[in-house]
Structure 1
Amino acid sequence: MGDKANAQSGAAGRATTADRPTSVRNVVLVGHSGSGKTTLVEALALTAGAVNRAGRVEDGGTVSDYDEIEHRQQRSVQLSLVPVEWGGYKINLLDTPGYADFVGELRAGLRAADAALFVVSAAQEADAVPASTRMVWEECAAVGMPRAIVVTHLETARTGFDELIEVCGRLFGGDDPDAVLPLYLPQYGPEAADGHAPVTGLVGLLSRKLYDYSAGERVEKAPGPEQEALLAGARNRLIEGIIAESEDETLMERYLGGEEVDLKTLIDDLEKAVARGVFHPVLAAAPAVNGARQGLGTVELLELITGGFPTPLEREAPAVTTPDGRPRPAVGCDPDGPLVAEVVRTASDPYVGRLSLVRVFSGTLRPDETVHVSGHGLADRGHEDHDVDERVGTLSSPFGKQQRTVGSCIAGDLACVAKLGRAETGDTISSTADPLLMEPWAMPDPLLPVAIRAHSKADEDRLSQGLARLVAEDPTMRLEQNQDTRQVVLWCLGEAHVDVALERLRSRYGVQVDVVPHKVSLRETFAGPSAGRGRHVKQSGGHGQYAICEIEVEPLPPGSGIEFVDKVVGGAVPRQFIPSVEKGVRAQAAKGLAAGHPLVDVRVTLLDGKAHSVDSSDAAFQTAGALALREAAAQARIDLLEPVAEVQVMVPDEYVGAVMSDLSGRRGRVVGTEQAGTGRTVVRAEVPEIEIGRYAVDLRSISHGTGRFDRTYARHEAMPPQMAAKVREETTAAA
């Protein structure tokens, strides 16, 4: 691919648009935090002429000026789009966060893209490619997404390029490491004082040419004897790897028979194999230095993207249904077809309000038209389902902090849409005449709870609206209003996710909150039978109050709730007041008896009582019923019940022992294990919920980022006496 003309577009200063799907390439960059994805995007933008030599756009910002939080925290926290032009093609570069807490942004990028660049840093030790990156590779492989690998940080490499190629072949190639091979070998200059030799150029294995970047511009040269020596073995291995994936089944036989395969055939077969997702080229790249215009390997990478990655026409769109679930025929990538688009990211801009980044799968999206927005079925996370018509505002192409207006967005392309007030991430945009709903992409379940409360009365007034906007932007976040604990809980993916959420509440929506200890929903029950007498007799002039009742309480099996039985004989308690006693009992049970938690799993039997012909009333017998239950509790042992969760943890086999030991230390009971594919095991356990509040963070540490878990409520069961005593002490102190 190093033989195509350098067709720099010079796209700086204008919106990047596409007039047909074949001229669009949608590429997502994947890699761990610090691998150099954002730097690579900026280098590609510079080479393509989208920014000037200082890496700036017209307003003085850079293409990485996406979010103030990113600048303060020095890490990417959201999906960012950088469109550039190269050789007549529009390339949508989707830069994703590398930190595990923002995997939702990564999945949105995968949804919007048609191919992926996996960025691997040579500054790390060999075999140090994070397991999370390997897991994303497997996800892409499962759907046949084309992938290539870009090696960065060669200037500070701890791992040699050849060694890193072998590592990538083993980790990403699976049974066929020859499906992961370099197209170019780095050419090194003289060794510097720090012991590192700078990379000054690339040697093309197919073209047998040297591409020298030492002067800041890509200069094509004939290789010298030193470069020729580098070529021989690596070139033969690459050619064999390409031919092995060729659609021409006779080519390998002819090659092994001594026939020289022409360069055009090799490049054509290479591009087809990359587009089919069966061959994964490795390239090296580095940013421009000292004011140079082109960074090392950026031209080669742009040529790979435009020549080897598929067009949107080659991607099958997600399945669609009507909003009520009836199946519809698959949509094709046709600008003249029915409108079907999807919101892949939602953000708030201080000047234009809500901005929705949209991938158009079919039809053409135009400003000022009315469209239908269909909800995505995440009501359990605070995202209500909705089917509404909305008017599209301005369409724009983002570039750093700028929004460059465009006239339309065709099938296969991406654009930002202003003023879709109800649209949230994951929603479908379609025609009002034919509303549709796209199959949602997989969203990780947020499993780290953080309880918050407004810092002041002014914050309390703005909290509800701020939280609604926050969860509208991020479908990986769940908002819970816990009626039992009376807490507002944000469920997040990790601590960094929490930090960003709270910072956005403060800086973007003007809401200051305090983090408070998260509480689980405890219950109370009677450990054994008891009895109580409620006497409510008052006379203070005028109409008095008179009610006496006697009850018996006995425990019931878990899950029974509260059962009320009437065994009054002889009219000791008039019939009209028996419901009043029950109402008083249930009201007191809801308030709790020992530590202020709801009472469950008991049978309360009304045995006897007394009434007064004048002074008895509904209110008096409600009070008497409550007093009787409290007296019964005072004479019995009240157990505290804690919620227990069924937990399923999936980890590589080497971490099973550590996970089981950790779960046991959390008072968990391991109930079984089973294999979940090659090298992975699912551990099933029952664990008290109070012990797994931070398990999302702890599991990541135990499994080095490779573990995943889910949890479902199983039941409430008795808390150990020493823990129950501690809870009661804390309740008494708080009161």
Structure 2
Amino acid sequence: MSETVSTNAESRTRTVAIVGPYLSGKTTLLESLLFVTGAISRKGSVNDKNTVGDASPEARDRQMTVEINAASTQQGGILFTFLDSPGSVEFAQETCNALMGVDAAVVVCEPDQARVLTLAPLFQFLDDWEIPHLVFINKMDRANDSFADILNALKQVSSRPLVLHQYPIGQGETLQGFIDLVTEQAYHYHPGAPADPVPLPEALREAEHAARVEMLETLADFDDHLLEELLEEIEPPEEEIITDLKMELGADLIVPVFIGVAEKDFGVRPLLAALLRECPEPSVMAEHRGIPAGNEPLAQVLKTYYTPQGGKLSLVRVWRGMLTDGMTLNGVRMGGMYRLMGQQQQSVQRAYAGCVVALARMEGVKTGDTLSANGVAVDALPKAEAIAPVYALALTAENRNDEVKLSSALTKLLEEDPSLYWEQHGDTREVILWGQGDIHLKVALDRLRRKYSLPMSTHLPQIPYKETIRRPGKNVHGRYKHQTGGHGQFGDVYIDIQPLARGEGFQFSETIVGGVVPRQYIPGVEIGVREYLAHGPLGFPVVDVAVTLTNGSYHSVDSSEQAFKQAARLAMQEGLPKCEPQLLEPILAIAISIPSEFTSKVLRLVSGRRGQVLGYDAKSNWRGWDEVSAYLPQAEMHDLIVELRSLTMGVGFFRWQFDHLQEVPDKVAERVLARSNGG
């Protein structure tokens, strides 16, 4: 492969994402594309764990893509960079980040109409960002549904019209080849070789003609000249059809559809030929992103890697100008520039607009950042929104001495994967790692162990319960008297305790008259009260309580702020248990997005978890989807995403935020208190 792209380099590069649901065959398609273009001499397989993509231990252990894998190849004078992206919803952030830096996407799916629904969120993202995309229906040798049923199912989840590029000859185990609807030439597949042209089967002539007419009519919706030709029954030339396909694909007005079997290389060469002819040039997407033309370098980080050797690599898309090795971007001098082939690196000296390269040692640069040279101020390029975390585990270092290294390692982990989030909870003091699901967090834990030698044990995070009181306590007395020889300690207070409305927190006041408690000791009283409220009678922080210092006495020699603090603690210890302590739990406001056919199931799911459904409505700009609004106790949230995905074929998702504290029902409170007391 040439180290650099020759003259007019920008028009000779294409970056294409390979996306689609889990198990659709994306990594196998990448392997086939690299093989038929000569980038690799022998194909690997996912089962044999020797593919160019999915080369990380975490991916190979699970035989699934868990991060973006970049690989480049040459075909027809074009340098293609393919970004193989995860299919699991738990790694959707990786896919979204990759899609922000491509010229087009190939959506890989299986010929199963029941599973087509899993494409809906992906199609929605592509259309929201107007990213040109094609569909490759893979595994056509295993199709059980009719081709018409598969197409109809695809049409239900795509807001853009589908344009059938090929029509299959045979189906399932009898799949023999395809008919190119542009040229009306039929082809038969052959293992290990390009498809051979054959006469168009008479039995398919009528179906092929109908499919071709539908293709042309769809294209004519965007081309008045083609529409005139069709109305006058003039056969449009192939060049005009291809031009229309390229223009309308580039504008994300249509979705061309291809078929094949990537494992056998069937249909891969026609797909590649279509990418050569119809994939928009880098300038098209740059213009769509609002990037002004010019020569000043402009790039964006799509992915951050920390290699096993500890080096940082930033995978960037060059949007404008040219990057040269050793250049300084955003004030950071790159420590090398590479083209990636999976985990292999090839050093390059320059990269043009349209290229995707990895930059070494770009410290302080994060995924999504916009990079420019020479201190030129530029507007930040749009980046994919961070997906809110929905699943959490509490972490404990297996070796206590490793705790000091954990914060640094987690920071690097989050640089690699922005859909992770960690916190040290203020109430429970636990280190909590948040992500998109169980597999997502297990991959993160594997990386902690392998890359940073930090084995972790995990458990469910504690729920940050609080407590409050139901009734007031009046004239509660606390006296602290301690004689140690010499000066003693003396403090004496009377307080009133009052419940507050939910959400009002803690209030302290005093009504001291006559100096019975000197002014300099009153802050000690408030400190003592606050310290006690950190751990109330039920064992949890106390909220929504007002305490008023009403009376007391002091000793001119033995009193001190510390003594009054202790007296206040004693008063609270005496009075608060008599004010009918009440356990409170955090309530989350959640918005659950699901296809409408699953709405009734989700309503039952929420109700079954002590949730309060507030209502549901059609989800804005999502055809056939609803959004359910509800309140849900945080204690019921832990595996909500697991059950939601199980109910909705993996496509349901939700966003949440803390809303308020609420009294725990008595039976639930009994169980919580029994657990917290070791019962």
Structure 1 length normalisation: TM-score? 0.86
Per-residue deviation, 1:442: 1.9
Q: Is the 8 A contact 2:286 2:319 kept in 1?
A: no
Per-residue deviation, 1:697: 2.1
Residues 126-525 of structure 1: pairs in structure 2 closer than 5 A:
126-129=113-116, 131-172=117-158, 179-186=162-169, 197=173, 199-214=175-190, 216-218=192-194, 220-223=196-199, 227-246=201-220, 248-287=223-262, 295-316=265-286, 330-332=290-292, 334=294, 336=295, 338-351=296-309, 353-372=311-330, 389-436=331-378, 437-525=380-468
Per-residue deviation, 1:728: 2.8
Instruction: State the one-letter code of the partner of 1:544.
Output: G
Q: Distance in 2 between matches of 1:287 and 1:30?
A: 14
Per-residue deviation, 1:133: 1.1
Q: Is the 8 A contact 2:585 2:662 kept in 1?
A: yes
**Taking structure 1 as reference, are residues 18 and 613 closer, same or farther at Cα in structure 2, changes over 3 Å only?**
farther
**Taking structure 1 as reference, are residues 63 and 16 closer, same or farther at Cα in structure 2, changes over 3 Å only?**
farther
Pick from 485, 492, 500 the counterpart of residue 556 of structure 1: 500
Q: Is the 8 A contact 1:318 1:439 kept in 2?
A: no
Pick from 19, 29, 38 the counterpart of residue 40 of structure 1: 29
Q: Is the 8 A contact 1:77 1:97 kept in 2?
A: yes
What secondary structure is seen at the aligned counterpart in 2 of 1:259?
Answer: coil
Structure 2: segments with no counterpart, 5+ residues: none
Q: Distance in 1 between matches of 2:574 and 2:22?
A: 60
Q: Deviations over 1:488-530 (max 9, x none)?
A: 1111011111111111111111111111221232222221111
Q: Is the 8 A contact 2:20 2:122 kept in 1?
A: no
Q: Is the 8 A contact 2:189 2:196 kept in 1?
A: no
What secondary structure is seen at the aligned counterpart in 1 of 2:452?
Answer: coil
Q: Distance in 2 between matches of 1:18 and 1:165?
A: 41
**Taking structure 1 as reference, are residues 543 and 517 closer, same or farther at Cα in structure 2, changes over 3 Å only?**
same
Q: Distance in 2 between matches of 1:481 and 1:218?
A: 57
Q: Which residue of 2 aligns with 1:6?
A: none
Q: Distance in 1 between matches of 2:396 and 2:104?
A: 43
What secondary structure is seen at the aligned counterpart in 1 of 2:605?
Answer: helix
Q: Is the 8 A contact 2:109 2:136 kept in 1?
A: yes
**Taking structure 1 as reference, are residues 676 and 214 closer, same or farther at Cα in structure 2, changes over 3 Å only?**
closer
Out of 509-518 and 240-249, give the one that drifted further: 240-249
Per-residue deviation, 1:592: 1.8
Per-residue deviation, 1:163: 4.0
What secondary structure is seen at the aligned counterpart in 1 of 2:67?
Answer: coil
Q: Which residue of 2 aligns with 1:652?
A: 595
**Taking structure 1 as reference, are residues 513 and 537 closer, same or farther at Cα in structure 2, changes over 3 Å only?**
same
Q: Is the 8 A contact 1:648 1:684 kept in 2?
A: yes
Q: Deviations over 1:152-171 (max 9, x none)?
A: 11233323445433433454
Out of 700-709 and 38-47, give the one that drifted further: 700-709
**Taking structure 1 as reference, are residues 635 and 169 closer, same or farther at Cα in structure 2, changes over 3 Å only?**
closer
Q: Is the 8 A contact 2:54 2:64 kept in 1?
A: no
**Taking structure 1 as reference, are residues 716 and 275 closer, same or farther at Cα in structure 2, changes over 3 Å only?**
same
Instruction: State the one-letter code of the partner of 2:482.
Output: K
**Taking structure 1 as reference, are residues 711 and 642 closer, same or farther at Cα in structure 2, changes over 3 Å only?**
same
Q: Distance in 2 between matches of 1:495 and 1:546?
A: 56
Q: Is the 8 A contact 1:244 1:252 kept in 2?
A: no
Q: Is the 8 A contact 2:507 2:547 kept in 1?
A: yes
Q: Which residue of 2 aligns with 1:74?
A: 63
Q: Is the 8 A contact 1:208 1:231 kept in 2?
A: no
Q: Is the 8 A contact 1:345 1:425 kept in 2?
A: yes
**Taking structure 1 as reference, are residues 652 and 346 closer, same or farther at Cα in structure 2, changes over 3 Å only?**
same
**Taking structure 1 as reference, are residues 55 and 612 closer, same or farther at Cα in structure 2, changes over 3 Å only?**
closer
Q: Which residue of 2 aligns with 1:100?
A: 89
Q: Deviations over 1:663-708 (max 9, x none)?
A: 1222222223333244332222222222222222222223333323
Q: Distance in 1 between matches of 2:70 and 2:656?
A: 34
Residues 611-626 of structure 1: pairs in structure 2 closer than 5 A:
611-626=554-569
Q: Is the 8 A contact 2:467 2:582 kept in 1?
A: yes
Q: Is the 8 A contact 1:35 1:120 kept in 2?
A: yes
Q: Which residue of 1 aligns with 2:645?
A: 700
Q: Is the 8 A contact 2:54 2:65 kept in 1?
A: no
Per-residue deviation, 1:121: 1.4
Per-residue deviation, 1:300: 0.7
Q: Which residue of 2 aligns with 1:327?
A: none
Q: Distance in 1 between matches of 2:566 and 2:288?
A: 60
Q: Distance in 1 between matches of 2:523 and 2:250?
A: 73
Q: Is the 8 A contact 1:524 1:592 kept in 2?
A: no
What secondary structure is seen at the aligned counterpart in 1 of 2:542?
Answer: coil
Per-residue deviation, 1:215: 5.6
Q: Deviations over 1:212-237 (max 9, x none)?
A: 4426222543416xx24424431353
Residues 521-536 of structure 1: pairs in structure 2 closer than 5 A:
521-531=464-474, 532-536=476-480
Q: Is the 8 A contact 1:673 1:684 kept in 2?
A: yes
Instruction: State the one-letter code of the partner of 1:233.
Output: A
Q: Deviations over 1:345-381 (max 9, x none)?
A: 1111123611111011122222212211xxxxxxxxx
Residues 588-667 of structure 1: pairs in structure 2 closer than 5 A:
588-589=532-533, 591-667=534-610
Per-residue deviation, 1:543: 2.0
Structure 1: segments with no counterpart, 5+ residues: 1-10, 189-195, 290-294, 320-329, 373-388
What secondary structure is seen at the aligned counterpart in 1 of 2:301?
Answer: strand
Per-residue deviation, 1:718: 1.7
Q: Which residue of 2 aligns with 1:83?
A: 72
Q: Deviations over 1:703-734 (max 9, x none)?
A: 33332322222221222223333333333329
What secondary structure is seen at the aligned counterpart in 1 of 2:38?
Answer: coil
**Taking structure 1 as reference, are residues 440 and 201 closer, same or farther at Cα in structure 2, changes over 3 Å only?**
closer
Q: Is the 8 A contact 1:210 1:221 kept in 2?
A: yes
Q: Deviations over 1:177-216 (max 9, x none)?
A: xx4313243367xxxxxxx635444333333434344262
Per-residue deviation, 1:649: 1.8
Residues 60-71 of structure 1: pairs in structure 2 closer than 5 A:
62-71=51-60
**Taking structure 1 as reference, are residues 539 and 302 closer, same or farther at Cα in structure 2, changes over 3 Å only?**
same
Per-residue deviation, 1:343: 0.9
Q: Which residue of 2 aligns with 1:541?
A: 485
Q: Is the 8 A contact 1:172 1:180 kept in 2?
A: no
Q: Which residue of 2 aligns with 1:27?
A: 16
What secondary structure is seen at the aligned counterpart in 1 of 2:224?
Answer: coil
Instruction: State the one-letter code of the partner of 2:291.
Output: V
Q: Distance in 2 between matches of 1:95 and 1:185?
A: 26
1:114 and 2:91 matched: no
Quote the sequence identity (%): 31
What secondary structure is seen at the aligned counterpart in 2 of 1:469?
Answer: helix
Q: Distance in 1 between matches of 2:273 and 2:642?
A: 41
Q: Distance in 2 between matches of 1:215 and 1:730?
A: 63
Out of 663-672 and 724-733, give the one that drifted further: 724-733
Q: Distance in 1 between matches of 2:152 and 2:512?
A: 84
**Taking structure 1 as reference, are residues 216 and 604 closer, same or farther at Cα in structure 2, changes over 3 Å only?**
closer
Q: Distance in 1 between matches of 2:625 and 2:515?
A: 68
Out of 440-449 and 242-251, give the one that drifted further: 242-251
What secondary structure is seen at the aligned counterpart in 1 of 2:190?
Answer: coil
Q: Is the 8 A contact 1:242 1:269 kept in 2?
A: no
Q: Is the 8 A contact 1:240 1:252 kept in 2?
A: no
